[in-house]
């Protein structure tokens, strides 16, 4: 959901020049998004119809300018398995200084309301991510 939200929220000048991907440490290759995830984003006019799950890999780590983990545990596992992730790695929730817990709960297996809550949380956090990207990459970003 976060990658699709990011594609939607990025400045127009970044479109076609900045890419967002989605990969999981335990993802089953090629699975579609859950019904609740699709319905949750459809409620905001977004589509996950073409989404297929991908497993995070060494090439994912090497090819990324920024790796955004949803939880501290995921970030620690990524750093342990893929040391090349290094300084590219952040936990999304840490971008909100008022947040008590930087982890974004995974709604997998939850209700439609759980997915909607995560979606709404992600909209706010992805807005912060875009600001962070502007600060971190500055002139290296389009627009």
Average pLDDT, integer, range 53-66: 89
Say how far apart CA 13 and CA 24 lie, in whole Å. Answer: 28
DSSP state of 3: H
Residue 98's Cβ-count burial label (10 Å; 0-12, 13-18, 19+) is: exposed
CA 141, distance to chain mean position in Å, is 18
- With a cut of 70, say whether residue 59 has pLDDT above it: yes
pTM of the full structure: 0.89
Instruction: Write down the pLDDT at residue 52.
Output: 79
Least confident of 65-74, 114-123, 134-143: 134-143
Instruction: Write down the pLDDT at residue 86.
Output: 87
């Amino acid at each position: 959901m976060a990658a699709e939200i990011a594609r939607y929220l990025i400045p127009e000048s970044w479109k076609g020049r900045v890419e967002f991907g989605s990969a999981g440490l335990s993802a089953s290759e090629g699975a579609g998004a859950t019904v609740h995830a699709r319905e949750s984003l459809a409620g905001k006019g977004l589509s996950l119809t073409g989404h297929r799950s991908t497993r995070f890999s060494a090439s994912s780590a090497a090819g990324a300018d920024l790796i955004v983990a949803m939880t501290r545990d995921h970030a620690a596992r990524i750093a342990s398995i893929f040391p090349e992730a290094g300084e590219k790695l952040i936990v999304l929730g840490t971008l909100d200084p008022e947040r008590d817990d930087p982890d974004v709960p995974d709604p997998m297996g939850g209700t439609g309301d759980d997915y909607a809550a995560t979606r709404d949380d992600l909209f706010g956090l992805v807005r912060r991510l875009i600001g962070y990207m502007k600060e971190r990459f500055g002139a290296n970003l389009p627009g």
